Structure 1
């Protein structure tokens, strides 16, 4: 199925379009239900304060549907992406007659990351965009100022990531290059060589971790400022009920959770794009 294709995200989607599409549709259904839960909670709070059970019952229906779809999606996902991993591994083995065992061993693991990206990252990105869209609409309906604050925070976060992109790509390339040598180093049966190899991996991982820590520290500072601003506007600048304030804060927080996926996805794409180039080499 993949014998004559370059192993990329696009080629995997083309080869397994129907089963992947169904997993994504189930994911979107689940995400849509998750996105509206806080709104229904807010309605239920206001309804119960007025001795009305209607909104409370509607919340129960939404939660039941969410549970059913979430379970079905996870059962189906495991089978679909497990089959894709087998096909990708088989394709690599057939193409790797001239590739050293150490390199092939590392690239088999890297190719699984390609499928992991298809299984986990792309649905997560889809989920985040749905949640971002719903959150922006709800916040705009409550007060356009809340929506504008969210857009400004997102622009700042993307700008912060842009300064780190090349460093992430270079460090991931260094890590993958070192990983490809692992089996050959172990075959030397030299304790010094193994320790040196592990120390190089450690130093690269520390550099990656330090870069992530600094970047996400700045990102969290931006989003915490956004939450504080929206809380202040909701509590002091609007005529609202308790349920409305709850919904505003929940949708502001949901927006933050969804928007955090953007820099994480860009960082993972830096790693995957380097892996795609590496696993398609014939030597």
Structure 2
């Protein structure tokens, strides 16, 4: 029985290494989420003649820098090994395909790993920032927390209207990419031009759809920030440092929330890619061994 290649497959084969990278990502984002609150406390402390809060802020920033640098050294090696092993597996599995499709599908398989290396940490950043911002803003005022919940709900509803559209447009783009080597091998200038023009048309269509989606979402975020600033200024006894924290966490919330549709859009594209990698047309015999988990 042929093993299906998808994100779950890669996660299972490299569970230990990926778990380490994600644990470091969570540590990095936990420290990052503390920065605006620490800055606000430092402002109030310095205005009151204290430097203790400044010392804590410096310690957090130094630790954050060390964790971030270390994670990037480790990530590069782990995900490079995964790309190597996954590409080798597809080479064995897709040997019956023509060269054009074979080449493009190896490139597509790398997008699975790119998602784990880039989009998943960004999504984790978004979740940590959203969760931490929600807690802090609710602590300042319940109405600030309620506005957070409403804007994320509205944003996800907007994206839900675009999921099938992104899936279909990415399918058309991938269909055209799979013809590229055959078109180049044919050698006709007109054929190459038509191929590149078709690629451009699909890419423009996807980009235009993204622009409409993000434009709608950004309007929600503008209303959210304006409401939080107005409401924060009306809190009784709010200090300069507390108002700074409210403003900063509100903007951090916006930036984090905007990462969610980006990750969801990547998921739409990967869904189409996984369907293509495991489609009936690539039915080479099942490999004798599964993807190895050791380099």
TM range (shorter): over 0.9
Partner of 1:46: 44
Partner of 1:160: 158
Distance in 2 of aligned mates of 1:72 and 1:184: 43
1:171-186 equivalent positions in 2, closer than 5 A: 171-186=169-184
Q: Structure 1 residues 73 and 197 mapped into 2: Cα distance closer, same or farther (>3 Å)?
A: same
The alpha carbon displacement at 1:237 in A equals: 4.2
- Quick check: 2:100–2:179 contact (8 Å CA) kept in 1? yes
Partner of 1:107: 105
Partner of 1:11: 9
Matching of residue 226 in structure 1 with residue 210 in structure 2: no
Partner of 1:236: 234
- Quick check: 2:180–2:195 contact (8 Å CA) kept in 1? yes
Partner of 1:144: 142
- Quick check: 2:101–2:179 contact (8 Å CA) kept in 1? yes
Partner of 1:268: 266
Higher relative contact order (CA 8 A, sep 6+): 2
C-alpha RMSD of the superposition: 1.1
Distance in 2 of aligned mates of 1:73 and 1:31: 12
Distance in 1 of aligned mates of 2:134 and 2:211: 28
Of residues 213, 216, 222, the one that matches 1:215 is 213
2:95 aligns to what SS in structure 1? coil
2:96 aligns to what SS in structure 1? coil
Partner of 2:88: 90
1:182-197 equivalent positions in 2, closer than 5 A: 182-197=180-195
The alpha carbon displacement at 1:86 in A equals: 0.1
Distance in 2 of aligned mates of 1:235 and 1:62: 28
Partner of 1:124: 122
- Quick check: 2:95–2:102 contact (8 Å CA) kept in 1? no
Partner of 2:251: 253
Distance in 2 of aligned mates of 1:51 and 1:237: 24
Distance in 2 of aligned mates of 1:176 and 1:276: 12
**Normalising by the residue count of structure 1, what TM-score does the alignment of the two structures yield?**
0.97
The alpha carbon displacement at 1:239 in A equals: 2.6
**Normalising by the residue count of structure 2, what TM-score does the alignment of the two structures yield?**
0.93
Runs of 4+ in 1 over 6 A off after TM superposition: none
Distance in 2 of aligned mates of 1:234 and 1:119: 37
1:273 aligns to what SS in structure 2? helix
For structure 1, the residue ranges without an aligned partner over 5 or more in a row are none
Distance in 1 of aligned mates of 2:8 and 2:202: 29
Per mean C-alpha deviation after superposition, the further-off stretch among 242-251 and 120-129 is 120-129
